[in-house]
Amino acid sequence: MTAQALYAHLPSVDLILNHQSQQALINQYGKEHITTLVRQLLDQARDSIKQQQQLPLWLTLNECDGLALTQQKQQRIINTRGWLHLASHQLQLTEQEQNHWIHVAQMMQTSQEPWWVRDLANACDIDEDKLRTLSYKLAQLGYISAIVKDRYVTHEYLIHIANAVRKHIEQNQKLETADLRNLSQLGRKVAVQILEYLDKIGFTKRKFNYRELRDEDLLKG
């Protein structure tokens, strides 16, 4: 099946949210969390089509007109390393991927800056396209997260940032961009990227020109 045909089977966000099978999830986790989850899953599906020429495990062509965001096949919403997603028991690293991940993880610890795939590939002497595919898989497993496309941080780094943000907001009731720059020692552009990512996953919410905690229980080590 061609990539164009696969893209055609991707359901819209509204179609998924309005499907009757999603009401229980919305009631349990809240519409905003489930909407964020759906958008993340569809982004992953597009990446899967682009990189692997196939749909991801959670999406099938035969159920609910392409809607498999249900409890069918024992899939369920779970919280792993601080973010909601679908269980994917079949997803695991190969031996070669595990070796690459060990190298990548060590390299990522040498800098507080989030890593672009291209820079990380050069630093680790790994083919860029192979590392991009591996990074997508590592993100699905929760080891790393893309704050923007092709720019990653480790889960441990996110925990570190979240703890600092949580403490600052508890003491000051709000967090401004300059506050995160001071806490992280990062530049304004990347600080904004991290803030927007924290908003996206529901940890913080933007109010005027500052942030407040939305779900303080996310990203706890």
**Is there a domain that residue 38 lies in?**
yes
Spatial contact of 152 and 190, defined as CB atoms under 8 Å apart: no
Last residue in a domain, options 32, 67, 86: 86
Q: What total of structural domains would you count in the chain?
A: 2
Residue 160 lies in a domain: yes
Higher pLDDT, 39 or 203: 203
pTM, entire model: 0.65
CATH label of the domain that carries residue 201:
1.10.10.10
Give the pair of three-digit tokens for residue 92.
Answer: 């695991």
Please name every residue paired with 43 in a beta bridge, in sequence order, or none if there are none. none
Indicate if the pLDDT at residue 105 is higher than 70: yes
Please state, rounded to an integer, the average pLDDT across all residues of the chain.
Answer: 80
What is each CA distance from 120 to 92, 103, 115, 199, 221, in whole angstroms? 21, 10, 6, 26, 25
To the nearest 10°, report the CA torsion of 118, 120, 125, 127: -40
Distance CA 201, CA 85 (A): 11
**Domain assignment present for 148:** no
Tell me, yes or no, whether 144 lies in a domain.
Answer: no
- Residue range(s) defining the domain that contains residue 166: 156-213
Please give the residue that has the higher pLDDT: either 66 or 123. 123
Instruction: Please write the tens of the pLDDT for every residue from 145-180.
Output: 899 989 999 988 999 999 999 999 999 999 999 999
pLDDT digits (tens, 9 = 90+) for 34-72: 777 777 777 777 777 777 777 766 565 443 433 444 443
pLDDT in tens, 84-99: 555 544 567 889 999 9
The pLDDT value recorded for residue 74 is 34
**pLDDT exceeding 90 applies to what percent of the chain?**
41
